[in-house]
Amino acid sequence: EVPILISEDTVISQPAKILNFLRKQKYNADYDLSAKQGADTLAYIALLEEKLLPALLHTFWVEAENYCSVTKPWFASRIPFPLSLYLPGRMSREALNRILLTRGGPPLYSLTEVEAQIYRDAKECLNLLSKRLGTSQFFFGNTPSTLDAFVFGFLAPLYKVCFPRVLLQEHLKQLPNLCRFCDDILSFYFRLGVSGHSPAGQDSVDANLQKLTQLVNKESNLIEKMDDNLRKSPQHPPRKLTTLKLAAGGEESSPPSRLSP
């Protein structure tokens, strides 16, 4: 399953379990939040999953031009042959399936109507996030929390990946506070090309963007199936690409434990 966290000898999968593990290790980004803010976090995460995720899945996996020119070659390059021929196609079909099952159905009868509706919902969701963020640096003041990590995980791939069809991306770029939010987190916590982990600049950009995409897909069933197949394959390298490590060389995944950049 992706993402997974490898800490010494422990392997944990699924974002919820990863966050629980980190909290037990006394890393908690929500320590300073009030009960109401904790409740707000849960509500906004539900909003992201219901309103934004279908359009993101569509942009990455269903929109033909995007999928063929960006997503498929990108994922295929990181998956060992011969799975690279099969898995991306399957992930694409499953994304479409999920969108149709959860958002399709009357009165939306054709795929184009469903697509129009999910993009309308996604734009509304982005507007709501922008209004909620306002002029603050993070969603709950000056220090980041779990909600910031979730929002970043959803927004950053949309913001940074160069797609040919850029409908939702254009809308996001019209919301300057959300763009500033992504840029801030990228520069504070994902410093590129600093450590010895990534030899070439472009490689480290790709690796970071891949991690961000994995954060986006974290709730999707597609990833569970991919893991089953990877486990069956005899090589070791697949383990490395499913590890979520910060470029700074730490062992933590989101949320970051340091309070200041």
Partner 1 sequence: LCSQAFLQMCNLPVRVVCRANAEYMSPSGKLPFIHVGNQVVSELGPIVQFVKAKGHSLSDGLDEVQKAEMKAYMELVNNMLLTAELYLQWCDDVTVEEITHPRYGSPYPWPLNRILSYQKQWEIRRKMKAIGWAGKSLEQVLEDVDQCCQALSQRLGTQPYFFNKHPTELDALVFGHLFTILTTQLTSDELCEKVKNYSNLIAFCRRIEQQYFEGHDKDSSSSATARSAKRSLLR
Compute the least distance from the CB of residue 34 to partner 1, in Å: 8
Compute the least distance from the CB of residue 111 to partner 1, in Å: 16
Neighbours of 23 (CB within 10 A): 15
CA diameter of the chain: 54
Compute the least distance from the CB of residue 14 to partner 1, in Å: 10
Q: Which ranges of 25-82 does DSSP label H, i.e. alpha helix? A: 35-47, 53-57, 64-66, 72-78
Nearer to partner 1, 101 or 200 (CB): 101
Rg (CA), the chain: 18
Nearer to partner 1, 127 or 198 (CB): 127
Nearer to partner 1, 17 or 173 (CB): 17
Neighbours of 181 (CB within 10 A): 25
DSSP percent split of the chain into helix, strand, coil, nearest 5? 65, 5, 30
Nearer to partner 1, 184 or 219 (CB): 219
Q: How far apart are CA 182 and CA 115, in angstroms?
A: 26
Compute the least distance from the CB of residue 10 to partner 1, in Å: 21
Nearer to partner 1, 161 or 175 (CB): 175
Site residues for partner 1 per CB under 8 A: 35-36, 38-40, 42-44, 46-47, 49-51, 97-98, 101-102, 105-107, 128-129, 131-132, 134, 219-221, 224
Q: Which amino acid is at 42?
A: L
Compute the least distance from the CB of residue 151 to partner 1, in Å: 12
User: What 3-state DSSP class applies to 7?
Assistant: strand
Nearer to partner 1, 149 or 247 (CB): 149
Q: How far apart are CA 135 and CA 50, in angstroms?
A: 25
The length of the chain in residues reads: 261
Compute the least distance from the CB of residue 167 to partner 1, in Å: 22
